[in-house]
Amino acid sequence: RIERQALMAITVEARSEPRLAPLTGLGNRRAFDEALAAAAIRSSRTHTDLSVIVADLDSFKAINDGYGLPAGDKCLRDVARVIDDAVRRPDSCFRWGGDEFVVVADVNREGAEKLAERVSAEVVDRCRRPDGAPVTLHVGTAELGEQGSDPSALLAAASAALKPTGGETLQ
């Protein structure tokens, strides 16, 4: 009986914890952790591909410092909307924190790289800094099979693979 009550309390707490980043409407870090863990289990059981894409906005601090926090918030909302529009529905995108976004995709490394290129191109085409220059990203990809079955290793590998895309980095 005590175990059941404890389980119920955990379930209620889990349901009450927010899973959306209020500014962007994307899943937050907690939602990402849960989604990646579930996707890794599913991928291992079904022998399907799973990759992660990490995207980091270039020179985001310069936007906040030079144009103010409302301009930075607008930039984050715009980029979040574009990334969400660019991914397929089976895939999920999240605001990892600050100026970082993560996509969990049911594709191999090659598919993740193509998706990252498409996301970067869409951001360059559709998102502008307050001075009118395009927003650019650093992106990194990693595939679960390359990292064993550890979701945290997958995220670390994608983060370590970050490289500039979509044009020159603006300072």
Residue-by-residue DSSP string for 69-123: HHHHHHHHHHHHHHHHHHS-TTSEEEEEETTEEEEEESS-HHHHHHHHHHHHHHH
pTM summary value: 0.84
Q: Which residues contact 142 (CB under 8 A, 6 or more apart)?
A: 51, 52, 109, 112, 154, 155, 157, 158, 161
The predicted-structure confidence for 120-149, as pLDDT tens digits, reads as follows: 999 999 999 999 999 999 999 999 976 667
Active-site residue flag, 85: no
Q: Sheet harboring 163-165: ordered strands across?
A: 92-97, 100-105, 51-57, 137-143, 163-165
What's residue 13's pLDDT? Answer: 58
Residue tagged active-site, from 65, 99, 106, 125: 99
